[in-house]
Structure 1
Amino acid sequence: MTLSADDLTEGLSRVLARVGMEAPAELERLTGGATMESWRFSSGGEAFVLRRAPSLEFMADRPFGHDTEAAVIRAAKAAGVTAPEVIAELQPEDGIGSGFVMRALPGTADPKVILQFDEADALLREAAQDLARIHSLTRDDVPAAVPVMDYRAAIADLRAQFEEAGGDRPIIALGLKWMEDNCPEACEPVLNHGDYRLGNLLTEEGHLTGVLDWELAHFGDRHEDLAFGCMAVWRFARYDRPALGLGSLEDYFAAYEAESGCTVDPARFRYWLIHRTVWWALGCLKMAQIWRSGEDRMLERVVISRRTSEQELDLLMLLEEDAPSVEKLRHVYPPSSLECLGGEADMGEIAEAVSEWLATIKGQLSGHDRFQLAVARNALGMIQREREYFPLGTDQETAQAVLSGVLSLYEPGQLQSLREQALQKAMADVPKYPALAMALKKWSPKEEDLG
């Protein structure tokens, strides 16, 4: 449900009164958050955060409700995790939907700021230790509604999502087929945070101060949690630091093993790195459907849907390790943009003009509106570059052949073709994505090859 700030303030006053707190003041929506809304406010001179679903309908297909999420956070905090303190859950009579109120924690979750800290190795150790404490929680510690992952069922669900989205992305199909062929045997499940990465870790002066966003908590393989934050997309500008963008995998694993008493299995880690990359690729695709349905018309939804190209690029770089050497040696030539023709302005130039105008009003906006302006300019940039590069990426015939096992990376020229498609799509959608520069360097011919 879409509510005004006044409606939220009124409903939030009812929530706070129920736990003996003063009415909220200085209510402000925080930036970011691909699924849930976050609102910061003060009460009695202290800072709090309201975490809320954009609509009640949005919660219908979630694995559990906010009451369960709040209970998981409370259990984690009791186990020594740097989790926030939950103050109160929203009730239907409050009239402001589904969610809960937490005490605000110090620090920032902004990866750009965090990655500038000098003591990244200390933060990496603290993150590994906190993750180990999360994994120490048992099914008796949290509500029964927290699900246990069935690996094969999870793959089947992802494949169903793929087919529903058109079944026409060969690189994602390649990932799904690899998962089906390489799914590990189930192990003793531990509580997974489900979204443990930069962006959900609060830090201050180089130290961990909070772990946020527990909506994807479930029981499963500990390697899934370890791998998720190490995906290239969550390393942000530090592609060179494979562990959370903060350091080496060796240091990350050593700190985790020391705290948990468990040994990290590199093969299981790689499986879950690929699994979660496919998972997020399909999650990005789904954002467009959420927007089309009218369930949530937030601009960010359609822009995130185009980040599928990031995951396809990352996925191909992970999967090509298994390709024959002769195929990996085939180079690709980066696509070049088309020169603008004369005459009337085309759609790319119109998008560029609108983007330039939006930049002139940036100073008039603040908070979430300023964030949305940046998202809008990103969207316009995608339109502009799509015209320049004619991005590919959808090919149902090839995708289905991969899923059926007819095509693989052993097919001569297949890896080269997928590399070309991945580069073309990423250059149109996310030209500043750090992994793109690495792929261009890795896949393009060297000077000695050209000479």
Structure 2
Amino acid sequence: MGDASKAQLLEGLTRVCARAGLDVPHGLNRLTGGATMESWHFFSGESGFVLRRAPSLEFMEGRPFGHDVESAVIRAAGVAGVTAPRVMAELEPDDGIGSGFIMQELPGTPNPKEILEFAGGDALLKDAARDLARIHSLKPGDVPEAVPVMDYREAIAELRAQFEEAGGDRPIIALGLKWMEDNCPEPCDPALIHGDYRMGNLLAEPGKLTGVLDWELAHFGDPHEDLAFGCMAVWRFHRYDRPALGLGSLEDYFAAYEAESGRTVDQERFRYWLIHRTVWWALGCLRMAKIWRSGEDRMLERVVISRRTSEQELDLLMLLEEDAPEEERAERVSLPAVPIHAGEATDGELAIAVYDWLGTVKDRFEGHDKFQYAVARNALGMISRYNEAAIPAFENAPLAQRILGGEAGLSDPGLLSELREAILATIMQDVPKYPALEVARQKWTQQT
């Protein structure tokens, strides 16, 4: 619960609700998910509300702006017609429960698996395009000055610094960084960017968008960044076949956005931001391990997300290889061999045994604990599949540095095949059910 117990949260919430003219809060329960901020649901009278809160005050250090600015951005978005939640009040230091704000509960579900199975996906896609266009209608002056304006080149430099800090040893990420340096577009007139516009941060009912959540990454920049981020393979979940938010085609999404915004989507800029944000999230995943090690936030989900970096590296290589020579793309690679064990139980088999046992006590968990239970089983699955010998070139600092220096690239004979084998071996251990893996296996191997 971060730096406050449930009783302390209720005590602090009582002060916040009184300030907002609301009744005494009750029924406080933590919502599932939340890799960065905590979300708590509660009632005031018969109405539902959500507390959005940092897991600790220290967690807010170094961020471009605080929750007071985030709530102001949400209010401005609401004025622009975005389906945004109504912010009721911000937390204050005297409340004693950290940094955050409370907002009115909206109808609908944020669960991507449910949303992507709804009927009327085409209508929902149009709603998403509409709200994104309205977000992009906001200009500097509509929101507090603390909302930053992105400098594209500076953003690349910051990502490169993160890469070096994380070891500088992932050749696929190095390829992405070098490509970004070579292909960075010229700045455009800055529009307000949500920064995290994707499934997981959208509330929906069948055929209807009901809310846009999580505005902590808002900034001014290129609208194509928002368009691309939601279309990344990772945010399409099990609907890899629907490239626009997991809901439909890019053609339909772009047409709806153009009709609402009056802008024309530039395919080259869209591809740039698709690659940029894939690198961004790959490094974000890697950083989760650093946060956990530092003690800043010891949430179990952080270490598991760090091992999902391989998802982004797979997606990144599939994007970048479009620029490789045809003869390199035509080469096929082999899948790693599955080791066969004899004798005493291996570390992986011990992990499987605990994984299986946890499956027998699933019904004992509820709420956020049930979510953490699922994360724990994922962690054990990763341990059970680990095979160091199957990753020949995945962590290779000398190769990564040659790539960054322009001394190596996908035109080098055999490099693409080497990286394909490495990422296949890695992701088959980390996230074997990742939908893009099956696509890559069919594309890169002899499998039919």
**TM-score normalised by length of structure 1:** 0.98
**Could you tell me which residue of structure 2 aligns to residue 25 of structure 1?**
26
Q: Structure 2: how far apart are the matches of 1:155 and 1:341?
A: 48
Q: Structure 1: how far apart are the matches of 2:253 and 2:110?
A: 20
Q: Structure 1: how far apart are the matches of 2:113 and 2:260?
A: 28
**Could you tell me which residue of structure 2 aligns to residue 381 of structure 1?**
381
Offset of residue 387 of structure 1: 3.4
**Could you tell me which residue of structure 2 aligns to residue 427 of structure 1?**
428
**Could you tell me which residue of structure 2 aligns to residue 320 of structure 1?**
321
**Could you tell me which residue of structure 2 aligns to residue 171 of structure 1?**
172
1:336·1:389 contact (CA, 8 Å) conserved in 2?
Answer: no
Q: Structure 2: how far apart are the matches of 1:446 and 1:219?
A: 45
Deviations 1:92-140 (A, max 9, x none): 0000000000000000010110011121111001100100000001111
**Could you tell me which residue of structure 2 aligns to residue 412 of structure 1?**
413
1:223·1:272 contact (CA, 8 Å) conserved in 2?
Answer: yes
2:336·2:390 contact (CA, 8 Å) conserved in 1?
Answer: no
- Supply the AA of the counterpart residue of 1:352: I
Q: Structure 1: how far apart are the matches of 2:206 and 2:7?
A: 35
Offset of residue 388 of structure 1: 8.0
Offset of residue 391 of structure 1: 3.6
- Supply the AA of the counterpart residue of 1:355: Y
**Could you tell me which residue of structure 2 aligns to residue 78 of structure 1?**
79
Deviations 1:253-301 (A, max 9, x none): 0000000001000000000000000000000000000000000000000
**RMSD, aligned CA:** 1.0
Q: Structure 2: how far apart are the matches of 1:389 and 1:127?
A: 44
Give secondary structure in 2 for the equivalent of 1:244. coil
- Supply the AA of the counterpart residue of 2:162: Q
Q: Structure 2: how far apart are the matches of 1:175 and 1:220?
A: 20
Asked if 1:286 is matched to 2:287, the reply is yes
1:391·1:428 contact (CA, 8 Å) conserved in 2?
Answer: no
Give secondary structure in 2 for the equivalent of 1:319. helix
**Could you tell me which residue of structure 2 aligns to residue 143 of structure 1?**
144
Offset of residue 204 of structure 1: 1.1
Offset of residue 390 of structure 1: 3.7
Q: Structure 2: how far apart are the matches of 1:117 and 1:317?
A: 29
Deviations 1:408-433 (A, max 9, x none): 00100000000001101100000000
**Could you tell me which residue of structure 1 aligns to residue 331 of structure 2?**
330
Q: Structure 2: how far apart are the matches of 1:113 and 1:375?
A: 19
State the aligned residue count. 446
Residue identity (%): 71
**Could you tell me which residue of structure 1 aligns to residue 93 of structure 2?**
92
Q: Structure 2: how far apart are the matches of 1:248 and 1:384?
A: 37
Q: Structure 1: how far apart are the matches of 2:434 and 2:58?
A: 33
Asked if 1:360 is matched to 2:366, the reply is no
Give secondary structure in 2 for the equivalent of 1:198. coil
Offset of residue 241 of structure 1: 0.5
Offset of residue 20 of structure 1: 1.7
**Could you tell me which residue of structure 1 aligns to residue 206 of structure 2?**
205
- Supply the AA of the counterpart residue of 1:152: R
Offset of residue 177 of structure 1: 0.2
1:389·1:424 contact (CA, 8 Å) conserved in 2?
Answer: no
Asked if 1:187 is matched to 2:175, the reply is no
**Could you tell me which residue of structure 2 aligns to residue 114 of structure 1?**
115
Q: Structure 2: how far apart are the matches of 1:49 and 1:435?
A: 34
Structure 1 unaligned residues grouped into runs of 5+? none
1:114·1:206 contact (CA, 8 Å) conserved in 2?
Answer: no
Distance 1:377 1:68, change over 3 A: same
- Supply the AA of the counterpart residue of 2:142: D
**Could you tell me which residue of structure 2 aligns to residue 8 of structure 1?**
9
Distance 1:144 1:325, change over 3 A: same
Offset of residue 358 of structure 1: 1.2
Q: Structure 2: how far apart are the matches of 1:115 and 1:124?
A: 11
Give secondary structure in 2 for the equivalent of 1:194. coil
Asked if 1:346 is matched to 2:350, the reply is no
**Could you tell me which residue of structure 1 aligns to residue 232 of structure 2?**
231
**Could you tell me which residue of structure 1 aligns to residue 216 of structure 2?**
215
Offset of residue 389 of structure 1: 6.7
Q: Structure 1: how far apart are the matches of 2:447 and 2:366?
A: 46
- Supply the AA of the counterpart residue of 1:178: W
- Supply the AA of the counterpart residue of 2:112: P
